[in-house]
Amino acid sequence: MKNEFSNKKALLSLAIGGFGIGLTEFVIMGILPNVANSLAISIPQAGHFISAYALGVVVGAPLLTSFSHKLSPNRMLLLLMTWFTIFNTLSAFSTNYNMLLVMRFLSGLPHGAFFGVGAVIAGKLARRGKSAQAIAVMFSGLTVANVIGVPIGTFLGNQYHWSASFIMVGVVGVLTLVSIFYWMPQFEKEEKQPLSDDQKGLKNPELWALIALTTIGTGGFFAWYSYIAPLLTDVALFSDNVVSYAMIIAGLGMFVGNFLGAKMADAFTPLRSVMISLLGMTIILLINSFFASHAILALVLTFLIGLIAFSISTPIQMAIINTAKGAEMLGSSMNQSAFNMGNAMGAYLAGLPIAYGYSVTSSSLVGASLAFSGAIIAIAILLYRQKKLKKNSN
């Protein structure tokens, strides 16, 4: 019983880290207009701060995870959170476009490695057959950030100054460091896998197909979410203050969707549940493009989009870990890179029609196209597996 309680506290420390990561990744979307006004840039230009963070994740995940064999998981997590805390705090003191762009990139570097290492650690902390739930607990920090942290950060950023949002992130980073130091059980440094084992895992074509699926499919969500603030204020005609409450609604959807995804991964295979979620996201984003101007419907759809989007998180992470045999930790972190390539791609592609003068609702159409493309990749992988299984049985 004592060991189980200790493991719960260890999982909680990972969830606190996820809370900080979710806060810095998503709060920028709620304060985007204020950041743009403060730095005298356009909203599509301010969207580059979202992309810069995401690109930092893409670069940092495989780069920093490569050090995982040189440090114990405990020290690795502490190192990643120290970096995260420093550069998010420095973001608050950025005075121009270029400085904040660099700070956002540097802030994103430890994101993927933290979740990549954390997902494998969560699996080790879980009871037998409960890995999906343990990973979901870690990701719950990210979803709770969208229920509580992001709305508070958005409120502070809009009422006072956008820099207050990043000061808040720095405080959460310090709390994560303390909780990991005191609550995480000591794990031995892992022996480096033979290079051939790593290569075997990374050469699996299914792994790269899953990476593409994550990048393109989740890009659909970020195409919509990156421009949620102008969508609510310019299209649904809400005041700036309502954006904070809408972020709570989206966060509640994400929270429910995260644990729903864990249940789906157990009920179906992880990949089948991802396919179902992406098809659902395609439909809901298409609906949103037509009804975003209706205030009540816009809020209902905000909840549903958040729910469906985060029902993907745990199943796709499990699918990656199961596929990257011999390179689980690297594969897990690469999936976070893919998730944030989707973030960068979604924000950029959705910004193009807006920059050319089209309505902000066009971001939902871009998102639906990306989500549907991800679903097609999932279907292709499932058909490939069936064909491979049939061939091996003959």
Q: Residue 107's Cα: distance from chain center in Å?
A: 14
Do the Cβ atoms of 234 and 360 come closer than 8 Å?
A: yes
Residues 6+ apart with CB under 8 A from 57: 108, 109, 111, 112, 336, 337, 339, 340, 343
Do the Cβ atoms of 189 and 74 come closer than 8 Å?
A: no
What is the rounded CA–CA span in Å between residue 154 and residue 164? 9
* Domains and their CATH numbers in the chain: 2-393 (1.20.1250.20)
Do the Cβ atoms of 53 and 25 come closer than 8 Å?
A: yes
Give the per-residue pLDDT at 177: 95
Give the per-residue pLDDT at 1: 44
- Tokens (6 digits) for 171: 């405080």
Do the Cβ atoms of 169 and 20 come closer than 8 Å?
A: yes
Give the per-residue pLDDT at 2: 47
Mind listing the pLDDT tens digit for each residue in 91-143? 999 889 999 999 999 999 998 889 888 877 887 776 766 677 788 888 888 88
Give the per-residue pLDDT at 72: 79
Give the per-residue pLDDT at 380: 94
Give the per-residue pLDDT at 191: 58
Spans of the chain below 70 pLDDT: 1-6, 68-69, 126, 128-130, 188-202, 326, 394
Three-class HEC string of the chain:
CHHHHHHHHHHHHHHHHHHHHHHHHHHHHHCHHHHHHHHCCCHHHHHHHHHHHHHHHHHHHHHHHCCCCCCCHHHHHHHHHHHHHHHHHHHCCCCCHHHHHHHHHHHHHHHHHHHHHHHHHHHHHCCCCCHHHHHHHHHHHHHHHHHHHHHHHHHHHHHCCCHHHHHHHHHHHHHHHHHHHHHCCCCCCCCCCCHHHHHHHHCCHHHHHHHHHHHHHHHHHHHHHCCHHHHHHHHCCCCHHHHHHHHHHHHHHHHHHHHHHHHHHHHCCHHHHHHHHHHHHHHHHHHHHHHCCCHHHHHHHHHHHHHHHHCCHHHHHHHHHHHCCCCHHHHHHHHHHHHHHHHHHHHHHHHHHHHCCCCCCHHHHHHHHHHHHHHHHHHHHHHHHHHHHHHHHC
Q: Which of 79, 329, 328 is nearest to 180 (CA)?
A: 79
Q: Which of 148, 186, 196, 209 is nearest to 16 (CA)?
A: 148
Give the per-residue pLDDT at 335: 84
